[in-house]
Amino acid sequence: DSLLTKDTGPRPLELTEVFKLFQIKYNRSYTSPAEYAHRLNIFAHNLAQAQKLQEEDLGTAEFGETPFSDLTEEEFGQLYGHQKAPERIPDVVKKAGFEKWGQP
Amino acid sequence: VPSTCDWRKARNIISSIKNQKTCRCCWAIAAADNIESLWHIKTQEFVEVSVQELLDCERCGNGCNGGFVWDAYIAVLNNSGLASEKDYPFKGYPNPHGCLANRYKKVAWIQDFTMLDSDEQAIAGYLAAHGPITVTINMKLLQSYRKGVIKATPTTCDPQHVDHSVLLVGFGKGKGEEGIQSGTVMSQTCKPRKPRRSVPYWILKNSWGAKWGEKGYFRLYRGNNSCGITKYPITARLDHSVKKLPISCPP
């Protein structure tokens, strides 16, 4: 299709260029070329996931690049979640209905 | 229950956005944020309490390794209050000398803590009447969240697997794009914008710094237990002997 090859404006950024901008924005550096390649791969995966979320989301949220875009889902959970699943709720955490507030 | 409530609009009720950095202490920050906001509502005094004290003094003594908001409240009750952030500042790692609670003057304390019913309407009513509360959600979708209202389903965000505690500061209903906008660039995707829809939402305060999300906040759809928001709605209880004029939640 001739329309597709026609120069209609600035070309889209290559993935490596987008990743370079991400590194600058969030001050990220990687210890080796292998680590860089690994993080680039994760970054690409996360952008694709974000695009999928964007398409599937039923609300008005916008998903895309964030400071966590070079982390796997597991790493993100390990770094920022509280991880431990509650085994039981302490007895002192009582169930209280709204209408019960203020009662002895 | 009012149709909207946003405690951020009341002066000095909500403290500035905190940043947990690489310390897994969302549970302590959520509890501290809860106590700070309730303390101001009850006493009209603005305090910033020590998150580090909660990390150092919780029952396991390693608060950067995860925890639960009830651990924070138990630590506050055991230590008869909390020191100020200024006296006992956040370091982002556990203090090697352990709990230093006895060294500092207490600036805020609680009488009790409680878990609310898992009902979004009841939570909204409580929030509007008493102040911000803590909730624990599945944070999976927050990894790539930028702004707007997240409407999750049990498939996209398991409501049973909750792993991140935050402060619930309000609720509203309206165009999903009318919240506080982040200053970051638009996403790389080139999709047509979704049509504007009126959606009910919760407003939540996160602990990943003010550059994340909507100036440190995010919004979740209200009405379908998005990401398990109703699983652990927990709040401190403060009873202040001196009765002052109550502060109501701004619409």
- Contact partners, residue A11, CB within 8 Å, separation at least 6: none
Q: How far is B103 from chain A (nearest CA, A)?
A: 27
Residue matched to tokens 């895309």: A64
Burial category of A14 from C-beta neighbours within 10 Å (exposed 0-12, middle 13-18, buried 19 and up): exposed
pLDDT tens digit at each of 104 positions of chain A: 444 555 566 677 789 999 999 999 999 999 999 999 999 999 999 999 999 999 887 789 999 999 999 999 999 998 888 755 555 555 545 444 443 333 33
ipTM for the assembly: 0.84
Q: Say how far apart CA B235 and CA B168 lie, in whole Å.
A: 10
Structure confidence by residue, pLDDT tens digits, B155-168: 999 999 999 999 99
Average pLDDT over residues B115-119: 97
Which of A60, A66, A93 minimises the CB distance to B149? A60
Contact list in B for residue A27 (CB cut-off 8 A) is none
Structure confidence by residue, pLDDT tens digits, B166-224: 999 999 998 655 444 433 333 444 445 555 568 999 999 999 999 999 999 999 999 99
Cβ contact A26:A39 at 8 Å: no
| Upper half-sphere CA count for residue A26 (Cβ side, 13 Å) | 20
Strands B217-221 and B149-150: parallel
Chain A within 8 Å of B186 (Cβ-Cβ)? yes
Is A62's CB within 8 Å of B70's CB? no
Angle, CA B53 vertex, CA B47 and CA B106 arms, to 5°: 45
Size of interface A-B (CB pairs under 8 A): 159
Is A83's CB within 8 Å of B163's CB? yes
Which of A12, A53, A95 minimises the CB distance to B144? A53
Chain A within 8 Å of B181 (Cβ-Cβ)? no
